[in-house]
Amino acid sequence: MRQADDDFTELMNAAKKASRQAYCPYSKFPVGAAVLTRDGSIFSGCNVENASFGLTICAERNATFHAVASGKTDIQVVAIYTPTATPTAPCGACRQVLNEFGPSARVLSFCDGPEVIRLTVAELLPRAFGPSNLNE
């Protein structure tokens, strides 16, 4: 599985596996995410909640920050898993962070049911503010 393929099974498996590590005692909503970078690397993350709710980190940002911490800043695909009957799209904060490192990245939100949300970051966050705005 790599960018040229339309089969993102490895990426989706990494997201689902990451959800098992979620720390979510408040929401009881474990989320896992995995990002695929241009060079084919996969980085995963889960949501980590905090009693001070504003300090919670979502799975998508956790995975993205793992990639960035490893020197990878060009995200091509994001897979997001929720253990629900229907898929859940990323929150606004995650959309903004994904825009920073992959404005044209494909986003696959999947769940325990058959439905998959397949959009790009640009479709999820139209007319986004990002690095290109600072270079004008």
The predicted-structure confidence for 43-70, as pLDDT tens digits, reads as follows 999 999 999 999 999 999 999 999 999 9
Q: Specify the 3-state DSSP secondary structure of 35.
A: strand
| Domain annotation covers residue 39 | yes
| Domain annotation covers residue 2 | no
In this predicted structure, what is the pLDDT of residue 132?
Answer: 81
Residue 57 amino acid letter = I
In this predicted structure, what is the pLDDT of residue 134?
Answer: 86
CATH number, domain at 51?
3.40.140.10
Report DSSP state, residue 48.
B
| Domain annotation covers residue 114 | yes
| Domain annotation covers residue 47 | yes
In this predicted structure, what is the pLDDT of residue 4?
Answer: 37
Task: Answer positive or negative: Cα dihedral of 22, 30, 10, 92.
Answer: negative
| Domain annotation covers residue 76 | yes
In this predicted structure, what is the pLDDT of residue 1?
Answer: 33
In this predicted structure, what is the pLDDT of residue 136?
Answer: 60
Q: What is d(CA 73, CA 12) in angstroms, rounded to the nearest whole number? A: 20
| Domain annotation covers residue 133 | no
Q: Which residues constitute the domain of residue 33?
A: 9-125
Q: Which residues are catalytic?
A: 60
Q: Which two tokens stand for residue 6?
A: 């339309």
Report DSSP state, residue 4.
T
Q: What is the pTM of this model?
A: 0.92
The predicted-structure confidence for 99-121, as pLDDT tens digits, reads as follows 999 999 999 999 999 999 999 99
The predicted-structure confidence for 10-24, as pLDDT tens digits, reads as follows 999 999 999 999 999
> For residue 134, with 0-12 CB atoms within 10 Å meaning exposed, 13-18 middle and 19 or more buried, which class applies?
exposed
Q: How many CB atoms lie within 10 A of CB 1?
A: 16
In this predicted structure, what is the pLDDT of residue 6?
Answer: 59
Q: Which two tokens stand for residue 135?
A: 């270079």
75-81/106-110 β-pairing: parallel
Question: Total domain count for the chain?
Answer: 1
